[in-house]
A and B are shown apart, each in its own frame.
Chain A
C-alpha cells in the first residue's frame, strides 16, 4: 500500500480496497460501484447501500471538482476498510484547493436557495445526513481528506 496511514490490522488486508481515480467527473461511479459491492457483501441493507453510494459519489465529486480542480494529473485516493462494525471510507485529494471548513458546517435552506443564483451546495450536507460519522481533515501531505463511517445495524 502506498500510504501507511491506511494500513489495516494484520490479517484484515482482504477487507481493504484502495482506488486511485483520475480527477475526471464520471470516475466517481467506480467508487460508488466498489462501495456498493463491498457493502452488499458485508450485509448492509439496500437502503443503506443506496445512502453509501450517494455519500461516496458526493465525496469523490468534491475531491475531483474542488480539491483537485479537475487537474487530470492529480488523483483521488479512495480507501474502503471493512470491519465487523461497519465500513470506513477515506477520500483524499491532492489539495490544489483546501476546503473551507465553514462549508462543512453549512446547512442549505431550499427557500433561500430558490432565490439565489447558486442552486448548489448540497453535497457535503447530504454526506453528513446519510453517514453515521463524518470527519474532515487536511492530510499531512497537504490534501483534503474526508473520512465517513457507516455502521452495520446489529
Chain B
C-alpha cells in the first residue's frame, strides 16, 4: 500500500519556534501541522519557522493547510517564515502568493537570521 507519512516535530532556538516537517505535505498532514502550530502558539510563540526537511511532495491540499496556518498567524500577530523548500516548491509558494505573508528561505539558518533581525527590531524602542 502507498501511505502518506509525515513526521512533525517542534523545537525552540533563541526564542524562535521551529516546526519541522519530514515527509509528504498532503491532505493527510492537516491534523499534524495544525496541531503543531496550535501547540507552539499555546506556548507563546511569536516567531515561527515551518522548516521542510526532505519534503519532496507538497500538493495543493498541503498548500491549503499552510494557508490556514498563515490565516491564524495573521490573526495572532505572529511572524512566520518557511525554510528548507526545494527551488521548485519555493517557486510554487511564490506563484500561489504565500511569499506575501511568510518569508521564504532556502535554509533554516537564513530563516533564523531573518527572524532574529525581526526580534531585534521589535525590541528596540520606537523613535519619537
Give the interface of A toward B (CB within 8 A).
24-30, 32, 47, 50-51, 54, 57-58, 61, 108-111, 113-115, 119-123, 126, 129
The answer to whether A110 touches B2, judged by C-beta atoms less than 8 angstroms apart, is no
Q: CB-CB < 8 A to A121: which residues of B?
A: 60, 64
**Selected interface stretch from B13-21, B39-47, B87-95:** B87-95
Output the residue of A28, A54, A108, A121 with the most chain B CB within 10 A. Answer: A54
Output the residue of A30, A54, A58, A119 with the most chain B CB within 10 A. Answer: A119
The answer to whether B2 touches A114, judged by C-beta atoms less than 8 angstroms apart, is no
Q: CB-CB < 8 A to B98: which residues of A?
A: 110
- Closest-by-CB residue of A relative to B61 is A120
A58 in complex: contacting residue of B60, B64, B70, CB < 8 Å: B60
12 more contacts with CB within 8 A, not counting A29-B57, A113-B67, are: A25-B27, A26-B4, A50-B86, A51-B88, A108-B96, A110-B67, A110-B100, A110-B101, A115-B71, A119-B64, A119-B67, A126-B92
Main secondary structure of the interface of B (DSSP, over half): helix
Decide yes or no whether B26 CB sits under 8 A from chain A.
Answer: yes
Q: CB-CB < 8 A to B95: which residues of A?
A: 126, 129
The answer to whether B64 touches A122, judged by C-beta atoms less than 8 angstroms apart, is yes
The answer to whether B60 touches A114, judged by C-beta atoms less than 8 angstroms apart, is no
Decide yes or no whether B122 CB sits under 8 A from chain A.
Answer: no
Q: CB-CB < 8 A to B59: which residues of A?
A: 28, 54, 57-58, 61, 123
The answer to whether B96 touches A119, judged by C-beta atoms less than 8 angstroms apart, is no
- Closest-by-CB residue of A relative to B63 is A122
Q: CB-CB < 8 A to B54: which residues of A?
A: none
